[in-house]
Structure 1
Amino acid sequence: MTLKLILRHHRTWIISFRSKCSLHSLAFVPKHNPADEAEIEKLKHFLKYRENICVLTGAGVSTESGIPDYRSEEVGLYARNTNKPVQYQDFVRSDQVRKRYWARNYIGWPRFSSFHPNQTHLALYQLEVPLKRVRCIITQNVDRLHHKAGSRNVLELHGTAFHVMCLGCDNRIYRNDFQTALAKLNPNMAIVSKTIRPDGDVELSQVRGKKTMA
């Protein structure tokens, strides 16, 4: 369910649930039943008379931006292929796994980093900053779409895809800078985005000769 907030004057605000939304993609939005009037009224009443609200979001909040989730029937990543994300233990144990991970992430990054917040992200920003109803947002997502929408107090449970940290010395750099470094090390690796994942990777059939930073 997407909600849009309309501000009027200094303290008066109205929540409209039927406004038309400019959605980037509905291809990954799972089938669902629309909320009924009673549910809408309960939510409106709750938002009107409550403050210090903490909002928890997951992959489903970003599907209308064009990023698939993992588990939704028919449209989730697991429903469309059998490949699973790289596990941390495998990543630190195997040089080949790290090469495969960064090759996939390198190909997927231009598209993943270009996604825009949808109406839900924007509505949560309105509830947090102008209206001061939401105190914080706790998200499982790494896509930074809450930040792009303008939200300020966001706790990222799984970190973010927009920074890279060395596991040896804890040095941190921006993901865009790391992309530039990878491009210089791999000038012949074409960037062709295929199936995007919630963590920014794409599926590649094989990885040969991929170089990563030491």
Structure 2
Amino acid sequence: MQPNYYLDIRILDSADDGELTLTHLRNQIYSIVHGAFRKMPEKFALALEISPRQQRKMLTKEAKYNYPITPNYDVLRIFASEQDDLDQLVERIKGHWKIRDYAVLNHPVAVPIAKVTGWRCYFRFRLPTLKAEPNFLKDYPERESLHTKRLNKAKKLPYFKVISQSTGQSFTVPIEIFDINFEEENFGLPETYKDVNVLKSGLPDGYGLARKQHAFALPVFEV
């Protein structure tokens, strides 16, 4: 896909209800967006951004507690090749009360090429099943398993809670975010993403994320 057009959905952090955290609201808003993604597959790519207002809040917290604050994304930036696809997305989600009450839904516009300062890839971070544990762990129990290592890493990543259409059960979709450098070997991606070609126009998966076999990069810019 070519990220020619985009729209922002800024999530409003509720100060009135301690239960309505930004993370909770982000999951609620994304569940609505994801429903539209399912009806228009491979049309939309998702990026996570932090608004200037949220950045100021994070800096205030860091200064108060003297400890680095984990990025808390309050903007879902959705890209598409055609503006008409984003217009259809808006029509599908704008009437939902959660969108009306807890988000600011912007109009689709062209990507401001002159403002692009970099590129990023967004991948689903997968956890290996316990059945995939290497046999050598039986002989070396002191070694941390691959599953445990990746589980610990997943806890530090942004994520979405998604409900399965087939089973009705909820599950977590952690997201790995990488800055892309087109001049570096393997575009600056880690060894686990060796041979991933972000130059090809891959198609997004059902969550709006890139896949190793169908990778793509999204532009970074401030508006």
Give TM-score scaled by structure 2 length: 0.27
Which has the larger strand fraction?
A: 2
Q: Name the structure, 1 or 2, with higher relative contact order (CA <8 Å, separation 6+).
A: 2
In our comparison, the structure showing a higher alpha carbon Rg is: 1
TM-score between both structures, scaled by the size of structure 1: 0.28
